[in-house]
Chains A and B, each alone.
Chain A
Amino acid sequence: NAGVTQTPKFQVLKTGQSMTLQCAQDMNHEYMSWYRQDPGMGLRLIHYSVGAGITDQGEVPNGYNVSRSTTEDFPLRLLSAAPSQTSVYFCASSYQGGTSTDTQYFGPGTRLTVL
């Protein structure tokens, strides 16, 4: 199993550009999520999905869109990049997501810089 994969590893954007961060998992997990991590901080939840066709907002959803057309993929779209979105983005997946015993598997991250 590859686990959770993310592409690209690094990306530089100019303010106002749009892009999509890719996330895929091969563990047949229902739950997937996106976090951002700013320097020296913990992770903050952006959006999550409990299954194909179902998404919901996390703590910091503004400026980001998601969709979940398949179980495997959960892309994160930046509609109009801003310098405040400079961060490291992590995708995670887990079997169900809604139980107190569920454990998450994280991808290696995408380091995004917006100039």
Chain B
Amino acid sequence: DAKTTQPNSMESNEEEPVHLPCNHSTISGTDYIHWYRQLPSQGPEYVIHGLTSNVNNRMASLAIAEDRKSSTLILHRATLRDAAVYYCIPRSGGFKTIFGAGTRLFVKA
């Protein structure tokens, strides 16, 4: 499985955009990049995933670098409810999903 590097923590102001980076330089050509988040005292929840091109859904956008060695999760307008740990996970199709430590996002009012 591809290894990932994410900042331990990031801080944002409410109503401003947040860009959460992830480095996955050892990713293989068929790995999809998944993002999950874990709100305080809850189980993780799926956010978004993509392969090569940028992806959008109601929760966030995912920007994938052309060489696929990094990606960025974009929250367009952070709210206090977005304070969570965000996990970037390359998936190759096996049955074992590996969660790293993720990035803890703090949102200031």
Contact = CB atoms under 8 A, between A and B. Distances in A.
Interface of A: 4, 31, 33, 35, 41-45, 48, 50, 56, 58-59, 90, 92, 97-109
Interface stretch (B15-23, B64-72, B76-84, B93-101): B93-101
Nearest to B101: A42
Interface of B: 30-32, 34, 36, 41-46, 49, 87, 91-102
29 contacts: A33-B97, A42-B99, A42-B100, A42-B101, A42-B102, A43-B44, A44-B99, A45-B96, A48-B96, A58-B96, A59-B96, A59-B98, A92-B43, A92-B44, A98-B94, A98-B95, A100-B32, A100-B91, A101-B49, A103-B46, A103-B49, A104-B44, A106-B44, A106-B45, A107-B43, A108-B42, A108-B43, A109-B41, A109-B43
A101 B92 CA distance: 9
Given A41-B101, A42-B102, A102 B42 contact: no
Contacts of A101: 32, 49, 91
B95 A48 contact: yes
Contact of B34 (A4, A42, A103): A103
A33 B97 CA distance: 10
A33 B95 CA distance: 9
Contacts of B36: 104
Given A44-B99, A106-B43, A107-B43, 16 more contacts: A4-B43, A33-B97, A35-B99, A42-B100, A42-B101, A48-B96, A50-B95, A58-B96, A90-B43, A90-B44, A98-B94, A100-B91, A100-B93, A101-B49, A103-B46, A104-B46
Nearest to B43: A106
4 tightest Cβ-Cβ pairs between the two chains A and B: A106-B43, A42-B99, A43-B99, A100-B93
Contacts of B94: 98
Contacts of B31: 100
A86 to B, nearest CB: 16
A104 B97 contact: yes
Given A42-B101, A100-B30, A101-B49, A109 B42 contact: yes
